[in-house]
């Protein structure tokens, strides 16, 4: 069963949270509510999120301050943040949003279809990265554990390599389709950059896996560098 991605919705107004849930319910992911910056930071301590939709104007800790805390934490600094605001103070206000670490800055009222499309891109990227980490873990297990696929389960190296190759091929195919989807001028620069980074990781993983095939010579060391 495929694990659903979690999307964090942060807004101090319940009616806005309800509207966001209605818009994003079609994505069939797990939607988590937070009614304040403090509540959002608490949720981020225990759960991993694909993307955060963050209201700018909130009492107490506003969206900018909340984003600053998120970006300072190693665990959460890479989570994409989409700012939502009902107030447009011009380019300076928008720049402040991007400076705080946002990947996008959307003024209300917004087009539900556009918001859903933007969020879906980051959900897809998150899922591909999760799959990539799974493939990397299996490959590392093959290199370090001599063919043990899981606790209590041992597979022949050739069989495990075939399984790894097939699963990696599926991820490569999905990543290629996602890159084609982002290959237009309207795509978010952050999403394009993340997709390119994912493709580079996949290429490195494929090379390492190919080197393990019989007759390919000695296996290269796997670097932990992204």
Average pLDDT over residues 57-83: 91
Would the pLDDT of 150 be above 70?
no
Would the pLDDT of 9 be above 90?
yes
Would the pLDDT of 8 be above 90?
yes
Same domain? For 80 and 28 the reply is yes
- Calpha distance 190→104 (Å, rounded): 9
Domain membership flag for residue 224 = no
Q: 78, 110, 142: which is the final residue of a domain? A: 110
Helix H or strand E segment including 148: strand 148-150
Same domain? For 89 and 159 the reply is no
- Calpha distance 174→165 (Å, rounded): 14
Domain membership flag for residue 56 = yes
Nearest to 10 by CA among 99, 72, 91, 85: 85
pLDDT of residue 6: 96
The boundaries of the domain holding residue 24 are 6-110
Domain membership flag for residue 166 = yes
- Calpha distance 10→84 (Å, rounded): 9
pLDDT of residue 226: 43
Q: 49, 83, 110: which is the final residue of a domain? A: 110
pLDDT of residue 23: 95
Instruction: Give pTM, 2 decimals.
Output: 0.65
């Amino acid at each position: 069963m495929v694990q659903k991605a979690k999307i964090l919705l942060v807004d101090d107004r319940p009616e806005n949270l309800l509207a966001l849930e209605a818009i994003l319910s079609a994505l069939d992911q797990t939607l988590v509510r937070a009614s304040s910056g403090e509540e959002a930071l608490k949720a981020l301590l225990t759960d991993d999120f694909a993307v955060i939709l963050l209201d700018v104007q909130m009492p107490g800790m506003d969206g900018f301050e909340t984003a600053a805390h998120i970006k300072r934490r190693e665990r959460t600094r890479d989570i994409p943040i989409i700012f939502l605001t009902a107030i447009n103070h011009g380019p300076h206000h928008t720049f402040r949003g991007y400076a705080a670490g946002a990947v996008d800055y959307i003024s209300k009222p917004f087009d539900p279809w556009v918001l859903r499309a933007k969020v879906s891109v980051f959900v897809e990227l998150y899922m591909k990265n999760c799959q990539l980490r799974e493939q990397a873990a299996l490959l590392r297990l093959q290199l370090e554990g001599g063919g043990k696929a899981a606790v209590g389960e041992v597979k022949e190296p050739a069989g495990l390599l075939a399984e790894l190759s097939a699963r990696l091929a599926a991820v490569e195919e999905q990543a290629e389709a996602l890159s084609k989807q982002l290959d237009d001028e309207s795509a978010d620069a952050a999403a394009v950059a993340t997709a390119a980074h994912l493709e580079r990781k996949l290429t490195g993983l494929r090379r390492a896996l190919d080197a393990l095939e019989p007759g390919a010579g000695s296996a290269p060391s796997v670097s932990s560098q992204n």
